[in-house]
Structures are given as structure tokens and as C-alpha cells.
Amino acid sequence: MRRRIVGIETEFGLTFFPSGKAYLPMEKVIGYLFEEVIPTGWPSNAFLPNGARFYQDTGCHPEYATPECASVKAAVIHDRAGERLLESRLAPAQKKLDDEGFKGRLYAYKNNTDSMGNTYGCHENYLVDRQLDFWHLAEHMIPFFVTRQIFCGAGKVFRHNGQARFSISQRATHIHEASSSSTTSSRSIINTRDEPHADAEKYRRLHIIVGDSNMSEFTTHLKVGLTCMLLTALEEGAVLPDVTLEDAVDALRVISLDLRMKTALKLTNNRRMTALEIQWAYLEAAERHFGTKTRGVFGTLLTQWRDILTALEGDFSQLADRIDWVAKYELMHAFMRRQGCDLDDPRVAMMDLQYHDIDRSRGLFYLLEREKKMIRLSTDAQVRHAMQHAPSNTRAHIRGQFIRFAKEAGRPYSVDWTYLKLSGYFEETILCTDPFANHDPRVEELVTTATGDLYEI
């Protein structure tokens, strides 16, 4: 497996259900969430000692961007660490609201839509070789991103022509273009903004904004891992299938409503293929390139991919322990059978939302996980460690070391993905353009010098 940096940005839904009629601006609520995490007077665009970025995004959404991860497993663990960090802020924020007389309950959800029809995203980032032509990459990867929702979708109940329906993906109906430089006004499958956060002569950052937020670690592992594998295949000159969709955006919507995955989609070469057939074509191309006897992460992924597609061809309910939309679908339909109701029942709509509640005492996903009904790939100990520590094998380690020192020393600082600066020391900004570097003598010198001055004081 080629070295690759990956990262996940998650925008969380936030809501306050008042028990009275008092109006409470969300700006005030989100301010309480960030207290202590972002002390008064410190940068509001906060990077944390674990190398991650935690901040307020457009629309009063808390957003967590994982640190740079050099493995699929690290991305899964640090994505879960973001959930736990936000969850840890709910109780202090709730207490502040109670103390000020705002009675009600505060909730945070790892989903992609609200009751008003707004959407917020889950963005994936992959470092790719600059020598790989971007439009060649986009042409060959867009059909994969469109059709992977059959195992990466989070599922949602929505109203279509006045009737409640279940869809595979939450984001599908909110994507308007195949590629675009915008992430809000004209959401696309691939974002074309060239912002590598690394040496621009060597690397490009592939920014994917079509995906759903996933609760299942297995789904996250599959989503990130298969993308890494296909990008590696392209970088190594592999021939991927000619499955360019005539209308990729329309195909997103069609697939999302086709739970049996039988609809044939029109390709630009006048062929027609279902989403499942397109995924089989990608799998077979990957097996030809890497070999069916491949070991390690890619070998595991190829086996899992084949197992998932085989199950989707038959009885998808057997995937309820690993695929989000299937887990949610089966949970809802078990409830409807017991209660004798249908998708129009408001209790089912509440279940849809509660699946994504990041409070482990309330969230339905975590109920399934506690009952051993969902496959888990991380441990609590790994997640707790990731909440405090950056990956040891990427640039995030340098950033985390720097931030930890600055906070302990009480020194204001300025940090971004590619630079570090401690106020009061050194006029120049320290650039860190190599995302694979986990050691920088300039940072160690800065920290040592600052420590010496601190003790002299």
C-alpha cells in the first residue's frame, strides 16, 4: 500500500429542545460547547493537542476535522474520537444553559439533514500524487463515488410526493454537480478547489463531499479504504472500468431510492448497468491489478468488498451489523412490525434521528453496539488515546506537540495545517509542508528555547 494521508471532516447537527417558550440563539448554545476547549482570547479556529481541528462551521454547526492519518484504521479511530470529544462537551454546555435559566435538552447528531431540509456534510480528504491527471482521476472515480452509497449510505426517511419513503443516502438529493469548486451553493461529488495543505509540486488533495456521515466503523473503514485502494491503482497505471455515467447527479438520486438495486443506469457508451454491476466492475478491476491473493489492508478490503456486494445481491438484511442504512432499515421495520405502524408514524421519524445521537446513553446506534449487534473495529482505549494524542507517524504529531506545549505554557499561538507560530518567539512562521513528517528540529528548538525563557522568568 502506497503511503497516503487521509482525513475526515464531520459537521454535526446541533439542536436545543426547550421545555418552555424562551428563544435561544444557536450562537449562544454553540459558544457553550466550545468553552474550555477554546479559551477566551485564543484562536477560534482551534487545533487541538491531538492534531485535529474543532471549530464552528457555517450555519452554527460544530465541525471536527481529524488530524492527518496515514492508515485507514487511524482514520476510523480519530473519526470516532471526534464524536467522543463533542459528546464530552454536551454536559458542561447543558449545565451552563440550566444555570442561565434555559430549560430544555441539548442534542448533537452525526447525520446530514435537519427537519427544515437543510444539509451539512461529511467530507473526505485524500492526498494524491500531483502527476496523476486530476480530470482523469475524476472521470474514473465519480461512478465509484455515485454507486458506493449502496454500502456507504446512512439511510433516511423522507417525504416524496406526499408519501414517506426510505432512501439509502442522506446527501444524494443535495448534490447538484459532478464537480465544482463550491461546497455550499453548488455542492458536487468532487470539490475541485486545489488546496493541498502540502507541497503543491508533489501533492494534490482530493476533496470528496458526496458522502454521508457514518456511525458504523465498518462502513467508515470500507468507505475510506476502498477509495485509497482505487486511488493507488490509478497512480500505478491501472485500467479502471469504462462506466462513465450519462448523468451522475441524477444517478445519485435514482440509486438512493432503489433499495433493491435493480435500476439500470445509462452510461455515456450507451450501455446500461445497475449500481451493483458498476461496483462489481470496480472490484474486478482492483482484483486484476492487485491480485486476489493480496495480503494486508488491501487484501482484507477486497474480501470484504466481495462479501458486501454478494450480500446486497441477495438478502441485504444480513449486513445489518455493519452497514448503516441496513441497520437503520431493519431497526425501523422491526419496530413497525411490533407496533403495526408504517413509515409515516412520527415515532419512526424520531428513530431515524435518534440513530445518529452521539450521546451514548440515548443514541440508537450505540444501543445496537452495546448489544453487540454492530461490528466494531476500535477499542475504547484507542479512542480515548486519540482524543488526546495525534497519530505518531504524520505531521499532526508535530502540531500536537507544539499545541500541548503552548497551552501548558499559557502562550498564545497561531496554527494551521501547514504552519506553526508561537507569539513572542521568532518572527518567522515555521512551515510544515510534508504531511508525512512527524519530526521537525525547528519546532523542538522553538519549544526548548521558549521553555528556557519561561524558567528564567
CA distance 371 to 219: 18
Asked if 443 and 337 sit in the same domain, the reply is no
Angle at 211 between CA 207 and CA 217, to 5 degrees: 110
Task: Examine residue 76 and state whether it is found in any structural domain, yes or no.
Answer: yes
Last residue within a domain, chosen from 367, 385, 403 = 385
Looking at residue 100, what is its pLDDT? 86
DSSP assignment string, 384-395: HHHHH---TTSH
Residues 167-199: tens digit of each pLDDT: 999 999 999 999 887 666 678 999 998 999 999
Residues 245-259: tens digit of each pLDDT: 999 999 999 999 999
Asked if 401 and 288 sit in the same domain, the reply is no
Alpha-carbon dihedral 234, 213, 162, 330, rounded to 10 degrees = 100
If one counts the domains in the chain, the total is 2
Task: Examine residue 1 and state whether it is found in any structural domain, yes or no.
Answer: no
Task: Examine residue 342 and state whether it is found in any structural domain, yes or no.
Answer: yes
Residue numbers annotated as active site: 57
User: Residues 353-361: what's their mean pLDDT?
Assistant: 97
Domain CATH code at residue 21 = 3.30.590
Residues 383-431: tens digit of each pLDDT: 999 999 999 999 999 999 999 888 888 888 889 999 998 876 565 688 9
Asked if 67 and 142 sit in the same domain, the reply is yes
In terms of residue numbers, what domain contains 200? 6-385
Q: Are strands 177-180 and 188-191 parallel, antiparallel or unpaired?
A: parallel
DSSP assignment string, 425-457: S-SS-EE---TT----HHHHHHHHHHHHHHHH-
Asked if 139 and 261 sit in the same domain, the reply is yes
What pairs with residue 63 in β-bridges? Answer: 11, 55
Asked if 139 and 218 sit in the same domain, the reply is yes
CA distance 221 to 298: 12
The secondary structure element, H or E, covering residue 275 is: helix 275-290
pTM value? 0.94
Task: Examine residue 440 and state whether it is found in any structural domain, yes or no.
Answer: yes
